[in-house]
Homo-oligomer: A and B are copies of this chain.
Amino acid sequence: MSFSRFCASLLSVALMFSAAPSARAAHEAHTEPKIQVGIVLFDGVQIIDFSGPYEVFGAAGFGVTTLSVDGKPVTTAMGLKVTPDLAFAAAPAFDVLLVPGGDVGDASKDPRILEFVRARTKGAKAVLSVCTGAAIAAASGVLDGLKATTFKPYLDKFAKDFPKVNVVRDVRWVDNGTVITAAGLASGIDGALHVVARLRGVEVARSTAVRLEYDWKPEGGFVRSLLADRYLPNLNDVRWPADAKFEDRYAYGDRDQWRARILVRAATKPKDLLALIAARMEQAPGWKKDAAGAVWHAQQEGRSVRLAFTTEGDGADGKGYLLDVALDAQ
Point out residues on A near B: beta carbons under 8 Å: 1-4, 6-7, 9-23, 25-27, 29-31, 44, 46-48, 51-52, 54-55, 58, 64, 66, 73, 77-83, 85, 101-105, 108, 132, 135, 151-154, 157, 161, 172, 183-187, 189, 201, 203-204, 206-207, 209-215, 221-222, 224, 227, 229, 232, 235-238, 240, 242, 244-253, 259-263, 319, 325
- 11 of the cross-chain contacts (CB-CB < 8 Å) are A3-B154, A13-B246, A13-B325, A23-B246, A26-B247, A66-B80, A80-B82, A172-B213, A186-B213, A203-B261, A210-B227
B-chain residues with CB within 8 Å of residue A161 when the two chains form the complex: 1
Do A132 and B6 touch across chains, with their CB atoms under 8 A apart? yes
Complex Cα distance, B215 from A186, in Å, reads 9
Knowing A26-B247, A154-B6 are in contact, say whether A212-B236 is a contact too (CB < 8 A): no
Interface centre among A19, A229, A247 (most CB of B within 10 A): A247
Chain B residues contacting A247 (CB-CB under 8 Å) are: 26-27, 29-30
B78-A54 in contact (CB<8A): yes
CB distance from A112 to the nearest CB of B (A): 18
Pairs A-B, 4 closest by C-beta atoms:
A215-B222, A51-B51, A206-B252, A11-B248
Q: Which of B3, B21, B261 contacts A242 (CB 8 A)?
A: B21
Q: Which residues of B contact A209 (CB under 8 A)?
A: 252
Give the complex CA separation of A232 and B16 in angstroms. 9
- Find the B residue at minimum CB distance from A7: B77
Across the interface, which residues of B come within 8 angstroms of A20, CB to CB? Answer: 240, 244-246
Q: Which B residues touch A207, using CB under 8 A? A: 248, 250-252
Residues in B whose Cβ lies below 8 Å from that of A245: 20, 22, 25, 29
State how many angstroms separate the Cβ of A322 from the closest Cβ of chain B: 12
- Which of B1, B30, B186, B250 is in CB contact (< 8 Å) with A212? B186
Q: Which residues of B contact A108 (CB under 8 A)?
A: 1
User: Could you tell me the distance between the alpha carbons of A44 and B8 in the complex, rounded to whole angstroms?
Assistant: 11
> Are A9 and B215 closer than 8 Å at their CB atoms?
no
* Sample of 16 further A-B pairs with CB below 8 A, known A17-B238, A27-B248, A52-B52: A3-B154, A19-B236, A19-B237, A21-B240, A22-B244, A25-B245, A31-B319, A47-B51, A48-B51, A48-B55, A51-B51, A54-B78, A81-B82, A82-B82, A152-B213, A203-B250
